[in-house]
Structure 1
Amino acid sequence: MNLRGLVSVTGKPGLYKLIGQNKGGFVLETLDAAKLKSVVNLSTTKMATLEDITIYGEEEEIRLLDVFETIKTNSTELPDPKADGTTLRNFFREVAPGHDEDRVYSSDIKKVITWYNIIKELPLFDEEAPAPLV
């Protein structure tokens, strides 16, 4: 799974594709049909790549990519992100066993489901990630 160029921006809904950099910050493009472009200044905005995001675990953190891979390989049916907390929690117990139920909130689970729905059709989702530089 190669999701290196996809980012989440604090305070903005959805996901973005990192398409460049200029003096003002990073140039991002929305992943929705509108394909809107915007510049994000990192001194005022936080941004995280999907490859770097982890979920609180009881023993160790769980990589978001591992959760996405579990959903993909198990063909797990996704609940509606607006489902009740019990439904969301039961789903997350299947795809992220060992997550810390006290620190992972329903809003976090909703975000994971929403993000998966955004990226599941992207060709990047089926590509292998490049090998890390040594």
Structure 2
Amino acid sequence: MNVDKILAIAGKPGLYELKLQTRSGFLAESLLDGKKITVGMRSNVSLLSEISMYTYSEEKPLAEIMRAIAVKENEGPALSHKEDNAKLIAYFKEILPDYDEDRVYASDIKKVLNWYNILQAKGLVSKEEPKVANAEAIKEEVVKEVKEEAKAKKAPKKNKKEE
């Protein structure tokens, strides 16, 4: 699930996809109705990739929470955000059992479920892990390349006269 260009704009319902950056802000397209709007730099805008929720041990990125919902629902729609708070909280505990109940409110849960359902309707949710390069694998590859270069430099060079 790639939420790098998905925005939540304060005061505007739903989610938006970042389309184009301009000098005075940017152009975004609503995922609800497809309408394009211009958003100024003074607007309060959040990228979904930057949003996290509190748990008792750490802050959990929203993308991971969305992936957990996708796994639970087999990439289908989640519980409606219009259900009563007790039902929403029970549902959310199944998805994120260690969420911090003092700092995550029912309104936050409603927002996450609403956003998930918007993304799911557009086919933007996935239960697959994102393919992120493993830092250890990259390090091993770089070390291997450096060793090969060093080995090539140490190898005796043939004289042009010998050829």
Is the CA contact 1:2–1:130 (under 8 Å) kept in the aligned structure 2?
no
The 1:128/1:59 distance shift into structure 2, 3 A limit, reads closer
Is the CA contact 2:31–2:122 (under 8 Å) kept in the aligned structure 1?
no
Offset of residue 129 of structure 1 = 5.0
What percentage of residue pairs aligned between the two structures are identical? Answer: 37
TM-score (norm 2): 0.72
Q: Which runs of 4+ in 1 moved over 6 A?
A: none
Equivalent pairs counted in the alignment come to 131
Q: Which has the higher contact order (CA 8 A, sep 6+)?
A: 1
Name the larger-Rg structure.
2
The 1:38/1:121 distance shift into structure 2, 3 A limit, reads same
Deviates most, 10-19 or 67-76: 67-76
Aligned mates of 2:34, 2:54 — CA distance in 1 = 32
Aligned mates of 2:132, 2:122 — CA distance in 1 = 20
One-letter amino acid matched to 1:103: R
Q: Which runs of 5+ in 2 are unaligned?
A: 136-163
Q: Which residue matches 1:79?
A: 79
Is the CA contact 1:3–1:129 (under 8 Å) kept in the aligned structure 2?
no
TM-score (norm 1): 0.86
Deviation string for 1:30-52 (max 9, x for gaps)?
Answer: 001x311111112x212111111
CA RMSD of aligned residues (A): 2.2
Q: Which runs of 5+ in 1 are unaligned?
A: none
Determine helix, strand or coil for the equivalent of 2:100. coil
Q: Which residue matches 2:119?
A: 119
Aligned mates of 1:129, 1:122 — CA distance in 2 = 18
